[in-house]
């Protein structure tokens, strides 16, 4: 970053306050971001980060306080006004139209009328340069969560922003791709672009950011130089207490194979999807198997066939405790003791408009006996929702509130808690701590470990390699619909897995597939 003083900060907030019913989301917050500065905004889920950046981007209006742009008091009345100033934002929950193509979605966020053929060329060029491959003609509803995030990143970069707000931008990238993105951000910084960077990956905050502002409970806590802090000290400033490192489970307690997937192949139902090709793996009782991979390499298809949303061509391709379940649907798999946390928490893992009470009921009505003569037992269902909120520290003003009222991380905690508190024999979890703060992530990791120690089998699909190394006994890598041989975590390095995620070093090669057949 150019360290010379400038007359005014690029962006300055003074006394920003925003209150919702029962929640003071932002309480008199000040913030300064200089020209060319990469500035981290850190805090627990529910600390007020999303509310603050929405005020900067014109999505909502603060109750009080001032915003200065290059020293001039500014009213940012809408996202269009923000983009006109040169502010671009990548939301954690995407602002995309599912029934439109990638190019059409990007065009909607661009000023003026677009030449679509020229825009498609620009999308391909920018996405390839930044290691975020996108096809302009694909429909958004066919994309994975990770691929949708790529649209948001590319859309912002196409607008040459003066201030770029980024929320968890590396959650879908391999370590090598994240390094490439960091190179791009550092180049943008050197050219004078300011970046407000939100991430729960504290090691990347230390590596990338020049300053960090800490929020807790909606209030400003501190500003610090993250390069002079440890990841642990940053996390402890965020949560206001000591951070407990998850304790790994005793691998000697692993029992017999509970889930066995044998020679599973499946043609994707999506024309742009990824076909699964001779997938082989097993998960033992008391074991956590991690599957790593870049979004769009067959994870969606694998999760669908494991949950029963897609049926395998042969029931014997998937065995649960030796019994074939490949032709059973989701309800029957749940009857057999399988729980499932999907990657899309809004719409797939929950119904956004429904209350937390009703969302608790959706997947747990049978295992928690929430029906009484065919009718919902409201008292028991409410008690179960309250138990989830209490045990998984979900920050909400009440279980009667809609799922959409929660921050992304708090909704993730609720869904994970709902599934884990059903004491499943097997739980399949996609991205368990995506968008979750360090303290809550440690709690979720420990809960997963504790569940495995009680004898459950756990399958975790994640792009976060630090997460997989923290909780897994073994790791395999999925690339282009093929799965590598799983290995003990001590036999892998993060760099080796990153290469496998990129499709090199023979991930899912014919030789490897045959070796586990």
Q: What is the predicted pLDDT for the residue at 89?
A: 87
Which parts of the chain have pLDDT scores under 70?
Answer: 1-7, 92-93, 145-146, 171-174, 176-177, 248-253, 502-517
Tally helices (H) and strands (E) across the chain.
Answer: 17, 23
> 420-436 burial, b for 16+ CB within 10 Å, e for fewer?
bbbebbbbbbbbbbbbb
Q: What is the predicted pLDDT for the residue at 375?
A: 93
Closest CA to 296 of 184, 132, 448, 451: 132
Q: Two tokens at 367? A: 């295992």
User: Model confidence over 346-393: pLDDT tens digits?
Assistant: 888 999 999 999 999 999 999 999 999 889 999 999 999 999 999 998
Closest CA to 23 of 1, 53, 38, 45: 45
Q: What is the predicted pLDDT for the residue at 512?
A: 35
Q: How far is CA 412 from CA 51, 55, 346, in A?
A: 18, 23, 9
Q: Two tokens at 341? A: 């946390």
The C-alpha angle with vertex 229 and arms to 226 and 233, in degrees rounded to 5, equals: 115
Distance CA 345, CA 116 (A): 32
Cβ within 8 Å of residue 84, ≥6 positions away: 111
Cα dihedral value 122, 126, 127, 130, nearest 10: 180
Distance CA 411, CA 509 (A): 38
Q: What is the predicted pLDDT for the residue at 111?
A: 77
Long-range pairs, 225-230, Cβ under 8 A, ≥24: 226/40, 226/202, 230/206
Distance CA 153, CA 130 (A): 10
Which residue has tokens 């990238």?
173
Q: What is the largest CA-CA distance in the chain?
A: 72
User: Model confidence over 438-458: pLDDT tens digits?
Assistant: 788 888 999 999 999 999 999
Q: Two tokens at 439? A: 């303290």
Closest CA to 334 of 417, 432, 400, 424: 424
CB 148 within 8 A of CB 140: yes
Q: What is the predicted pLDDT for the residue at 103?
A: 95
Q: Kindly list the structural domains of the chain, giving each domain's residue range(s) and its CATH number in brackets, ordered by start.
A: 11-239 (3.40.50.300), 251-337+424-517 (3.40.50.300), 344-423 (no CATH)
Q: Which helix (H) or strand (E) holds 145?
A: helix 145-157
């Amino acid at each position: 970053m150019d360290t010379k003083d400038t007359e005014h900060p690029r962006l300055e907030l003074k006394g920003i306050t925003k209150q919702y019913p029962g929640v003071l989301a932002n309480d008199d917050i000040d913030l300064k971001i200089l020209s060319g500065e990469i500035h981290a905004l850190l805090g627990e889920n529910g600390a007020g980060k999303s509310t603050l950046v929405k005020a900067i981007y014109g999505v909502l209006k603060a109750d009080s306080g001032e915003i200065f742009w290059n020293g001039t008091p500014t009213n940012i009345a809408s996202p269009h006004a923000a983009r006109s100033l040169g502010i671009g934002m990548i939301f954690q929950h995407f602002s995309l139209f599912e029934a439109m193509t990638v190019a059409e979605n990007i065009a909607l966020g661009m000023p003026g009328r677009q030449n679509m053929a020229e825009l498609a060329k620009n999308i391909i060029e920018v996405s390839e340069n930044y290691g975020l491959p996108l096809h302009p003609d694909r429909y958004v509803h066919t994309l994975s969560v990770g691929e949708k995030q790529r649209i948001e990143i590319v859309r912002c970069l196409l607008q040459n922003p003066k201030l770029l707000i980024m929320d968890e931008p590396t959650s879908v990238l391999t370590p090598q791709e994240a390094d490439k993105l960091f190179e791009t951000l550092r180049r943008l910084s050197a050219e004078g672009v300011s970046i407000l960077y939100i991430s729960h990956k504290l090691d990347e905050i230390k590596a990338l950011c020049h300053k960090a502002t800490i929020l807790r409970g909606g209030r400003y806590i501190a500003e610090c130089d993250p390069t002079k802090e440890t990841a642990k000290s940053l996390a402890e400033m965020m949560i206001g207490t000591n951070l407990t490192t998850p304790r790994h489970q005793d691998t000697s307690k692993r029992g017999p194979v509970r889930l066995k997937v044998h020679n599973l192949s499946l043609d994707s139902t999506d024309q742009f999807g990824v076909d699964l090709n001779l997938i082989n793996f097993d998960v033992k009782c008391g074991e956590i198997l991690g599957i790593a991979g870049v979004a769009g390499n067959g994870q969606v298809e694998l999760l669908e066939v494991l949950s029963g949303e897609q049926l395998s061509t042969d029931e014997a391709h998937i065995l649960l405790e030796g019994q074939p379940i490949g032709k059973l649907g989701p309800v029957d798999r749940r009857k057999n003791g399988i729980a499932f946390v999907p990657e899309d928490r809004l719409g797939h893992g929950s119904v956004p408009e429904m209350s937390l009470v009703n969302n608790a009921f959706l997947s747990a009505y049978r295992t928690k006996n929430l029906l009484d003569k065919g009718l919902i037992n409201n008292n028991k269902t409410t008690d179960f929702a309250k138990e989830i909120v209490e045990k998984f520290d979900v920050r909400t003003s009440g279980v009667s509130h809609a799922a959409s009222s929660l921050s992304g991380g708090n909704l993730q905690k609720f869904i994970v808690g709902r599934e884990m508190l059903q004491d499943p024999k097997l739980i399949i979890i996609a991205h368990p701590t995506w968008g979750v703060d360090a303290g809550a992530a440690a709690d979720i990791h420990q809960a997963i470990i504790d569940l495995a120690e009680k004898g459950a089998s756990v399958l975790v699909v994640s792009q976060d390699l630090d997460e997989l190394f923290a909780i897994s006994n073994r790791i395999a890598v999925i690339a282009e619909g093929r799965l590598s041989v799983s290995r003990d975590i001590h036999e892998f390095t993060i760099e080796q897995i990153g290469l496998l995620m990129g499709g090199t070093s023979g991930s899912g090669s014919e030789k490897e597939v045959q070796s586990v057949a």
